[in-house]
Structure 1
Amino acid sequence: MPTLFVANNRTEHMVGDLAVLTDEQRRLAGYTAQRMLSYVGEGDVLVVPHPPNDSFARYLTELMDVDLGKIRMMAPPPGRFGVDVLSADRFEDFRFDRALAAAIQETGATRLFPIIFDAVMVRLARRHGLAADTPGFGFVGQGGSDLLNSKSVFRALAGGTGCPIPEGRVTANAAATEEWLWELLSSGRCAIVKQDQHVGGYGNEILSPYDGVTPIGAAEVITVPDREALHDLVCRRWPWYSGDGRRRVVVEHYVPDCTPVYVEMSITDDDVELFGHGEMLTKPIFNGLVIPAQSAAHPGWPGYLEAAEKLCQAIRGMGYRGLISIDGIVTPAGEVLLNEVNGRVGGSTHVTRIAQHLVGPAFLRERVVMQRHFWPVPSFDQALAALRASGLAFDRETRTGVVITSDDVTGGTVEYCLIAENVEHATELEDRIGKLSVS
């Protein structure tokens, strides 16, 4: 079925206000939107923030056994925030909308598949007659996506279904936030404050009553020695925590030295099925993945999967259809806790799709996949040539090697995933990449 794919990698719906993103964060969103090239098939339409390098696009689609010439790739004119994010104003351009309508008609596309369903995508689906064949549109068409990308709503859903979650509260004002934070900090525990809607750890802040805590899932740890310091901090940071008072705030007990994990599920009319799982590499915020999760051997892992499926069955009953990621943590004490849900295409989805295609449906049992960002290289072409010359590029016969998954033309980096036989082999490949001379 021909599909309209939209690589809306960062939207107001995901991060609140696109204006608060730095130029670097918007640039990251723009080039990692290229990951969606691994989703499309021949006859599909793909809307991207800006067209990728042609040689990279041909490389990735050839790996996925798709003819790039049979994909209709389009980018709207620059908007308020330039070309790196698909902001709402870019879809309001009349000429682009007319060209998009023609592409939909010529390809026969009947459904919409964005990274995230926000109000802009809902309007787009209705305007171009894609609502009827888009799975779960009855839910997302009424703003349901707001629920499944909200950290406060997650706590309500998880609590209501009996899922194990970190101790915490959802707060609506600065006084309640300060009160709960002090309850944690005064008892010698750390806390994490989470913006209700943000991604990649950029909307989180960790507070500690003592020094020496390593941040995982946030950029830094702020030491708070007493109640007066906490009061000053909350007063100063409340507008950032709450989006100038427009959103609720999540405050949780932060357990140091946890292992971040995730499980991705596919929710259909028929059932909930496991799509993939892994561990998130943080330095200190999200910096890559290891798939499958090495914590799958942990005694608490089956309970984590059971809780995730239970949560997804409830979400399925609400009417959501599509991929959904449930994040969690493995604590030093051995607990496996759920701590977030994202009803959208996740940062791991493209890696799983690539591995499924190149290795096979049993790749979770047969291979270890590691994804990394920010490999500094002069250009994609030079990086690929170096990988091929060194024997590191993906080999279809051995079903191992490195796949470049996005190309940051202006920043001089690429994102890659490496497919290995086991953890030791993955470590060896990453070490060889680090020593590779690219010129």
Structure 2
Amino acid sequence: MRRLWVGNCNSEYMVDRLEELDPREREGTPVVAARMVWLLRDGDALMLPQPVDPSFVAHVGALMGFDPARVDLLVPQDAAVRVLGQEELLRPEFLDRVRKVVAGEIRAYMSDRGIAALASAVGLPGGAVSTFDASGGAELFNSKAVFRALAAGLGVPVPDGAVCATRGDLERALDRLAAPTGAVIVKADRMGGGAGNVLCRTDPTVPPAGAALTLPLGRALDREAILAHTGLATTHAPRGQVVAETYHPHCRSLCLEVLCPAARVGG
């Protein structure tokens, strides 16, 4: 079956306060989206925020066994686009081009509510996007608050931390979480690539790995600046919850890949 792929990295459903995304992260978004070329097969279509070098597509096609002439790469007419948010995906002139290559299956970098709206707009069957994803289900997996809740429920070890919905939550957490290492990392609930992360440290020599910004931690005035940065209010979180965790410098990150082969028929 012909598939429509969508490189909707860093959409408004993936990133809180998209306007605050680091400019370097925004400029790099088309590069991340272009990785989806590796998923193409003959007859597929791929929506991207920016054009891809034809030599790269030819190289991937030779390795993966598809003919570049038999895939459709669609990009917005506006050369300034860096993120395929819902506003870009649903522009009439873009939709008209998509309808000409649309198939029965849609896959996306993130199957968010914008993808559900796109599927409906181009006339894909109702089941092309699951009701779970259309209701924001896939977006849960990009929430640090949800992750901590799931990890706690499953007994998965994570750094000591707190999900903070109010000013008081964060005020109470800062001293406790800073005690082991002298540093706390405060993260926006939904961001990526270190964007939205603030390292709060008593020692200015602590390396800010994984943080886009550093703030001092020690004096009362320092804490006030941290609270102001998050935007937390006394009774709610106008700009979204934040997750504060004890920061452990000089740690090594370990990654694990899992191969999930297709199920064998009759085996």
Scaled to the shorter chain, the TM-score interval is 0.7 to 0.9
Three-state SS of the structure 2 residue aligned to 1:143 is coil
- Residue by residue over 1:265-323, the C-alpha shift from the partner in whole angstroms, topping out at 9 and shown as x without a partner, is xxxxxxxxx239xxxxxxxxxxxxxxxxxxxxxxxxxxxxxxxxxxxxxxxxxxxxxxx
Give the letter aligned to residue 116 of structure 1.
Answer: M
Pick 1 or 2: higher relative contact order, CA cutoff 8 A, min separation 6. Answer: 2
CA distance in 2, matches of 1:188, 1:60: 45
Distance (Å, rounded) in 1 between the aligned partners of 2:87 and 2:180: 48
The percentage of aligned residue pairs carrying the same residue is 30
**Amino acid in the other structure paired with 2:230:** W
Q: C-alpha separation between the residues in 2 aligned to 1:166 and 1:181? A: 14
Query: For residues 221 and 95 of structure 1, do their structure 2 counterparts lie closer, same or farther at Cα, with a shift above 3 Å needed?
Result: closer
Give, in angstroms, the shift of residue 238 of structure 1.
1.8
- Tell me which of 259, 262, 267 is aligned to 1:275: 259
1:171 shift after superposition = 0.7
Q: Distance in 1 between matches of 2:116 and 2:128?
A: 13
Q: What are the residue-to-residue correspondences of 1:284-303 with 2, within 5 Å?
A: none
Alignment of structure 1 residues 196-345 onto 2, 5 Å: 196-226=189-219, 228-239=220-231, 245-264=238-257, 274-275=258-259
Amino acid at match of 2:155: G
Match of 1:85 in 2: 83
| 1:148 to 1:188, Cα distance in 2 relative to 1, 3 A | closer
Q: Secondary structure at the match of 2:254?
A: strand
Deviation for aligned residue 1:130: 4.4
CA distance in 2: counterparts of 1:156 and 1:166, whole angstroms: 13
Whole-angstrom distance in 1 between the partners of 2:35 and 2:240? 30
| 1:143 is aligned to 2:144 | no
AA partner of residue 239 (structure 1) = G
CA contact (8 A) 1:169 1:180 kept: yes
- In the alignment, what sits opposite 1:159? 152
Aligned to 1:132: 127
Residue 112 (structure 1) aligned with residue 96 (structure 2): no
May I ask how many residue pairs the two structures share in their alignment? Answer: 257
Q: Give the RMSD, CA atoms, in angstroms.
A: 2.4
Q: Could you state the TM-score of these two structures normalised by the residue count of structure 1?
A: 0.54
CA–CA separation in structure 2 for the residues paired with 1:130 and 1:68: 27
Runs of 4+ more than 4 Å apart: none
What residue number does 1:96 align with? 94
| TM-score of the aligned structures, taking structure 2 as reference length | 0.87
Q: In the TM superposition, what are the counterparts of 1:65-80 in structure 2 within 5 Å?
A: 65-78=65-78
> Does the CA contact (< 8 Å) of 1:12 and 1:18 recur in 2?
yes
Task: Give the Cα–Cα distance (whole angstroms) in 2 for the partners of residues 208 and 260 of structure 1.
Answer: 20
Q: 1:251 to 1:235 in 2, by over 3 A?
A: closer
Q: Would the aligned equivalents of 1:178 and 1:230 in 2 still touch at CA under 8 Å?
A: no
Structure number with the higher strand fraction is: 1
**Does 42-51 or 15-24 show the bigger shift?**
15-24
Unaligned runs of 5+ in 2: 262-267
Unaligned 5+ segments in structure 1 are 265-273, 277-355, 357-439
> How far off its partner does 1:161 sit?
1.3
Deviations 1:8-41 (A, max 9, x none): 1221122212222344322211233111111111
Q: Deviations over 1:216-257 (max 9, x none)?
A: 21135433123x13332223312399xx72311101111111
> What SS does the aligned partner of 2:127 have?
coil
Q: Aligned partner of 2:54: which letter?
A: D
CA shift, 1:84, in A, is 1.5
